[in-house]
Amino acid sequence: MTDFLGRGTLGGVPSSPPDRQIQADVAALAGAIERMAGDLALAEEPSSFAVALEAGARRD
Amino acid sequence: MTEQTLGELVAAIAARKVSALEATEACLERIGRLNGRLRAFITVDAEGARARARALDADLAAGRRRGPLHGVPLAYKDLCHVPGLPTSCGTRTPEYFVGGIECTAVARLTAAGAVTLGKLNMTELALGPFGDNPHHGDVDNPWKAGHVSGGSSSGSGAAVAGGLAFGALGSDTGGSIRLPAACCGIVGLKPTYGRVSRAGAMALSWSLDHLGPMTRSVRDAALMLEIIAGHDPHDATSSPHAVGTPSATLEAPIRGLRLGLPENYYFDGVTPEARAAVEAAARTLASLGARVERLRLPDPAPLIDVAGTLARSESSTIHARIVRDRPHELGAAVRARLEIGFHISAHDYLQAGRLRARLTRAFIDEVFGQVDALLTPTIPEPAPALAAATAPPVDAIVRRMNRFSRLTRPFNALGLPVLAVPAGFTADGRPLGLSIAGRPFDEATVLRLGHAWEQASDWRARRPPV
């Protein structure tokens, strides 16, 4: 995205290049997510989390 | 009077042994005397509290009892919107959180008869586990001056431990109820995700935020939970699952309950005394008839990465405006953590949400097929000196933050109920913490176990030296 002056923005925040520590943190998270997500079922969606909680409740 | 539990005060007011105004004045006296050191409150509404207490006393004299908390003075983390009071969320801006509805949890406590004393200090934007705040002062540990009070609900922990309020609300995105509860030697409950409405409270991460009670006894936590739990049309994530009356089953025997002590992760890098405290609690619970076994849990590392991706993405989205317009107002570590989220892709954010669902389902199936609850330390070490915990550079602070909250964060990703209870003290008087985690919506069992441990131990008789 660019703003009206042609500057890069991310979510409305000027996207000056992130410092090395932020780059490293983002890359570490992205790498971990990528490794884990390779075999996700097509049917899996974020809202399945709430379903998992309800299904996991004790049935007395 | 301020050494009583919330439950004891309820009974004393109902029996006309003490008035709501007397209880309120006792809290205001301690706030006046101790807040300069503890810095637990950001806003004290003394006149509002007195007026409310007088009205409640008049009601009781006329035979009208508003509810189960009639006349009990409480205070709320300064991210709960309470009409008529500013909500800074720990920032420099007194009215940072505006335009929202009244916090549903606060409204339910008020309807139950509680008196609002004021708003409690917190880590800036709820982003940090140490209780430091550059705008409102660092919350001090009531047990040991100059030491971490825990965060981000730092004022809630210090106010309840110090007898400045009979109970408080905190919020927990990565441990922010449980860490200050452990550091301040009180009880904190992170309920199941969806159990308590988050409406009217500043969001840090929609996917991971929880509101819950912070109290001086397990019974008090159960009483507050019963009032604040339940579906709320103002919070789309709130569950219709009935909470029941966990306070009514606290005395039920724990014989036969299966408790798990994790073999992996949860005792790695934990100080010997923090480990010994949890193992001693496990032996006590076993002596009461619980069956304690060691078990290997699914690796929590993926949960940490998933929670980190969700939390960083959502928090930077929610608080983009202050990062864009007034970044100089934010503490360096808070700004650094918010900035990460601007660089996480939508693809990774959504994959993290999908992974969370799979990991949670697998964890529940595997773990709760073997045990009814898990026992872990809450903090890996007793509260460290604040100056050491917050010493620059920024990346070192963030590393220390991540280490201090490493035992609590997985449970935010999983959404499970976790009760933090005191587990003894170090030789120099700092509290140690035990966490009891249960299956979804089974707060009743974790509260029952916590109550059994509380009754069998003598920690509640100790008071901080303030």
What would the 3-class secondary structure string for B173-199 be?
CCCCCHHHHHHHCCEEEECCCCCECCC
Taking residues B390-401, report their average pLDDT.
Answer: 95
Q: Give the Cα separation of B215 and B221 in Å (integer).
A: 6
**pLDDT given for residue A3 in this prediction:** 37
| CATH code of the domain in which B425 resides | 3.90.1300.10
CA atoms within 13 A on the CB side of B405: 31
**pLDDT given for residue B323 in this prediction:** 96
pTM, rounded to two decimals: 0.96
Q: Across the interface, do B339 and A50 touch by the CB < 8 Å criterion?
A: no
Q: Across the interface, do A37 and B355 touch by the CB < 8 Å criterion?
A: yes
pLDDT in tens, B268-298: 999 999 999 999 999 999 999 999 999 999 9
Per-residue pLDDT band at A19 (split at 50, 70, 90): confident
Determine contact, residues A40/B351, Cβ cutoff 8 Å.
yes
Q: Give the Cα separation of A25 and A31 in Å (integer).
A: 10
For residue A20, the distance in angstroms to the closest alpha carbon of chain B comes to 11
Taking residues B434-447, report their average pLDDT.
Answer: 98
| Contacts B358 to A, Cβ<8 Å | 40-41, 44, 48
Is residue A4 a part of any domain in this protein? no
**pLDDT given for residue B99 in this prediction:** 78
Is residue B466 a part of any domain in this protein? no
Is residue B1 a part of any domain in this protein? no
Is residue B425 a part of any domain in this protein? yes
Q: Residue B1 corresponds to which tokens in the numbers above?
A: 């009077």
Per-residue pLDDT band at B458 (split at 50, 70, 90): confident
Which string of b and e fits A20-50 if b means at least 16 CB within 10 Å?
A: eebeebbeebbebbeebbeeeeeebebebbb
Which helix (H) or strand (E) is B335 found in, with range?
helix B332-341
**B176 labelled catalytic:** yes
Q: Give the Cα separation of B265 and B273 in Å (integer).
A: 17
**pLDDT given for residue B455 in this prediction:** 97
pLDDT in tens, B144-174: 999 999 999 999 999 999 999 999 999 999 9
ipTM score for this prediction: 0.93
Q: Indicate if the pLDDT at residue A10 is higher than 60.
A: no
**pLDDT given for residue A60 in this prediction:** 59
Phi, psi of B283 (to 5 degrees): -65, -40
Instruction: List, in sequence order, every residue forming a beta bridge with B54; answer none if it has no partner.
Output: none
Q: Indicate if the pLDDT at residue B220 is higher than 80.
A: yes
Which structural domain range is residue A47 located in?
Answer: 19-56
Q: Across the interface, do B323 and A13 touch by the CB < 8 Å criterion?
A: yes
Q: Give the Cα separation of B60 and B52 in Å (integer).
A: 12
Which structural domain range is residue B289 located in?
Answer: 6-461
Which of the residues A7, A25, A33 would you substitute to probe the B interface, choosing the one with the greatest number of B C-beta atoms within 10 Å? A33
Instruction: List, in sequence order, every residue forming a beta bridge with B168; answer none if it has no partner.
Output: B75, B214
pLDDT in tens, B57-70: 999 999 999 999 99
pLDDT in tens, B37-63: 999 999 999 999 999 999 999 999 999
CB of A1 less than 8 A from some CB of B: no
**What angle (nearest 5°) sits at the alpha carbon of residue B376, between those of residues B396 and B197?**
85
What 3-state class would DSSP assign to B342?
Answer: coil
Q: Indicate if the pLDDT at residue B132 is higher than 90.
A: yes
**pLDDT given for residue B405 in this prediction:** 98
Task: Give me the percent of chain B exceeding a pLDDT of 70.
Answer: 100
Of residues B315, B317, B415, B305, the one with CA closest to residue B351: B305
Q: Across the interface, do B192 and A32 touch by the CB < 8 Å criterion?
A: no
In chain B, how many domains are there? 1
In this structure, the strands spanning B210-215 and B168-172 are antiparallel
What 3-state class would DSSP assign to A19?
Answer: coil
Residue A11 burial by CB count (10 A; 0-12/13-18/19+): exposed, middle or buried?
Answer: middle
In chain A, how many domains are there? 1
Is residue A13 a part of any domain in this protein? no
Nearest chain A residue (CA) to B361: A52
For residue B387, the distance in angstroms to the closest alpha carbon of chain A comes to 23
DSSP string, B71-116: T-EEEEETTB--TTS---TTSS-TT-S-SPPPPHHHHHHHHTTPEE
